[in-house]
Structure 1
Amino acid sequence: MAKVKITELAETILSEFLSQNKLELYNVEFVKEGKDRFLRVYIDKAQDAEDEYVDTDDCELVSRYLSEKLDEEDPIEDNYYLEVSSPGLDRTLFREKDYKRFRGNEVEVSLYIAYEGRKKYEGVLIDLDNGILSLAVTPDPVKGKTKEKKGPERIDIPFEKVAKTKLKVVF
């Protein structure tokens, strides 16, 4: 079965089950690493859940359910490893709703091609709207000038230039 169909099947199998357990699907990927294949499922707490974070019990619950359903249907011809986890503190943002949910958080953005002279930005996520990713970034100090502290500046990046956006872990 094709990678896309496997991920879509996992999404279909899990949809109602996750909803009943106040969880949501964050991402699914079916990848080959070396000679091994992995079906990776990332789950998150639903917005209306009492707990804020996914724990090992949630991962175990989803793993057992999905494993049982996949064993019944047996859609994957090759051997593979099933991994269920949370997206983590430094999660990658995939969907527009991820960007909306994490407005006000610090992010690291990597671009496919340079925009305004840079391929990487760090700043506070303002919004993703109408194909524009807006960040509040602190400008780089200009060499040879006095280190005058400037406040954050807004930058609007066309979303098609964005390769990856991750939450920045701040301690």
Structure 2
Amino acid sequence: MALNLEAIRATAERVAASHHLDVVDLEIQAGGKFRTLRVFIEKDAEGRARLASRATEEGAEEDAILPKGIPVEMLSGVTHEDCAAFAQDFGTVLDVEDLMPGAEYTLEVSSPGLERKLRGPEDYTRFRGSLVKVQTFAPVNSNRHWQGRLTGFTGDVLTLDLSAVKQKGKAKKAATETTIEIPLANVEKAHLVAEF
């Protein structure tokens, strides 16, 4: 029996919403008898706003939950308790609704991490100003791998400031300009680069 990824994602989002969380990504890894369902979660917009507010309060420098030097927007705000509660409820629903039919599977739940993948237009808008690595389907200026600061995202085109990092390899040769524009449709994969 085939997996219905849309039903699994919809169920994950429904369960996450009941815990004031958002599903960032979901991936299934299958190999032989062993299957792993990974779900990456973060606090919902309201929870992230509370985290940002807390970071601007006096004394936030001593806050053990808010690491020093990391932009608060890059933090998911998710705790071990959030992951455990979500995994318990989501795993129960998966089993009751038989959304992972067949052999056993492993459910892994975690935050997306500091170097999270960028998925859609919302992510490119939200993380404007962050360092990113981008790989394109087709070469742009004879290069498929770029790293720079995401300075803009308009009309489904992202703009990278290449002067924000030292370019290497082909990117160094291809970077005749200080900025580059890449259509979102040409982005094969992209992720944040942690700054400390």
Give the TM-score taking structure 1 as reference length. Answer: 0.83
Aligned to 2:55: none
Question: How far off its partner does 1:83 sit?
Answer: 0.8
1:8 to 2, 6, 9: 6
Question: How far off its partner does 1:166 sit?
Answer: 0.7
Matches within 5 A, 1:16-35: 16-33=14-31, 35=33
Aligned to 1:59: 83
CA 1:59–1:106 in structure 2 vs 1: closer, same or farther (change >3 Å)?
Answer: same
Could you list the per-position Cα deviations for residues 10-56 of structure 1 after superposition, in whole angstroms to 9, with x for gaps in the alignment?
22223333223221010112221465211111111112112452111
1:100 to 104, 110, 125: 125
Task: Check conservation: 1:123, 1:135, Cα contact below 8 A.
Answer: yes
CA 1:43–1:159 in structure 2 vs 1: closer, same or farther (change >3 Å)?
Answer: same
CA 1:33–1:53 in structure 2 vs 1: closer, same or farther (change >3 Å)?
Answer: farther
**Structure 2 residue ranges without an equivalent (≥5):** 52-75, 169-176
**Structure 1 residue ranges without an equivalent (≥5):** 142-151
1:41 to 39, 42, 50: 39
CA distance in 2, matches of 1:69, 1:95: 27
Task: Check conservation: 2:132, 2:193, Cα contact below 8 A.
Answer: yes
In terms of fraction of residues, the more helix-rich structure is 2
- Does residue 117 of the first structure (1) align with residue 125 of the second (2)? no
CA distance in 1, matches of 2:191, 2:119: 9
Which residue identity is paired with 2:119? F
For these two proteins, the number of residue pairs brought into alignment is 159
CA 1:106–1:28 in structure 2 vs 1: closer, same or farther (change >3 Å)?
Answer: same
Percent identical pairs in the alignment equals 31
Which residue identity is paired with 1:38? T
CA 1:47–1:109 in structure 2 vs 1: closer, same or farther (change >3 Å)?
Answer: same
SS in 2 for 1:48: helix
Which residue identity is paired with 2:91? S
Give the TM-score taking structure 2 as reference length. Answer: 0.73
CA distance in 2, matches of 1:29, 1:35: 17
Which residue identity is paired with 1:163? E
What's the Cα RMSD here?
Answer: 2.1
Aligned to 1:149: none
Which residue identity is paired with 2:36? F
CA 1:46–1:154 in structure 2 vs 1: closer, same or farther (change >3 Å)?
Answer: same
CA distance in 1, matches of 2:162, 2:33: 42
CA distance in 2, matches of 1:22, 1:127: 29
Aligned to 2:156: 131
Which residue identity is paired with 2:123? D
Which residue identity is paired with 2:161? A
